[in-house]
Amino acid sequence: MPTKTTLSLGALIALAGAQSAPGFPVSASQQLTVKYGNNTVSPPGELIPRGVWYAGERGASPGLLLMVDIDVPRNGTRVPLLHWMATNVTSQGSSGALNVPNSPVPYLQPSPPVGDVPHAYTFIVFPQPANFTVPAKYLALAQNQSLRVGFNTSAFIAEVGLKQAIAANYITVQNLTGTAATTFPPARPTQSPSATPSKPAQFTGTAPLSMVGGATMWAGLAAAMLAGVAAVAL
């Protein structure tokens, strides 16, 4: 019988020593908390094969969130894939719960191929520029998932004028639900982290997220926005 886990979403206390995945082109000044069930990702990069949510820095100004996998196998090498782009992200009152009113590029669940090496998924939040609009060529990614492959984070940042990232974290996900039916390119060379991780803060606010599935299997993900507070059902 499937199990059901309720996740919480809340505020992140400002911390030094943030970390994006080794090899990711951008670092941040604070750590972003990522939580799977009752497990808070610590240290950054912890391998957890289940669904994810996050909490970000409090602040009145809106933010822009990216989620990027940098380990997608393609033509004998590893390339990035954009899993999520959310705009106008803000924290809600004293709870710090996140409002995610817009996802120009909707959330795409982590789904590394069976038998491949663990994939690194970076979550990173930037201050959103005033009067920001997503260029049309990136909006096309919402309609055609194949266009998400090869997403160039550095080029996107330069094109839309993003400044220093506020917070970041990453998780690694591996699909061990079967036997590989193909061969994969070598894993990316291990690189030194961009910063020394600190112990993540605990969640304080709550928002309902339901997850149904086995301990090592990804369930399907559907995004739902409830009263302006982000909620995700797996």
Please give the Cα distance from 91 to 101 (Å, whole number). 11
Please give the Cα distance from 165 to 146 (Å, whole number). 26
Local confidence pLDDT in tens for the 234 residues of the chain: 322 222 122 222 222 234 667 777 777 766 666 554 555 555 554 554 433 333 444 455 788 999 999 999 999 999 999 999 999 988 665 545 567 788 999 988 888 999 999 899 888 889 999 999 999 999 999 999 999 999 999 999 999 999 988 878 888 888 888 888 899 999 988 654 443 333 332 222 222 222 222 211 122 222 221 222 222 222
- Domain hosting 123: range is 3-185+192-233
**pLDDT at position 138, please?**
96
Residue 76 backbone zone (phi > 0: left; psi -120 to 50: alpha; other: beta): left
Lookup: tokens for 162: 């993003």
CATH of the domain at 141: 3.90.280.10
**pLDDT at position 8, please?**
25
The verdict on pTM exceeding 0.75 is no
**pLDDT at position 39, please?**
53
Please give the Cα distance from 23 to 74 (Å, whole number). 17
Please give the Cα distance from 222 to 103 (Å, whole number). 13
Structural domain total, the chain: 1
Contact 23/120 with Cβ under 8 angstroms? yes
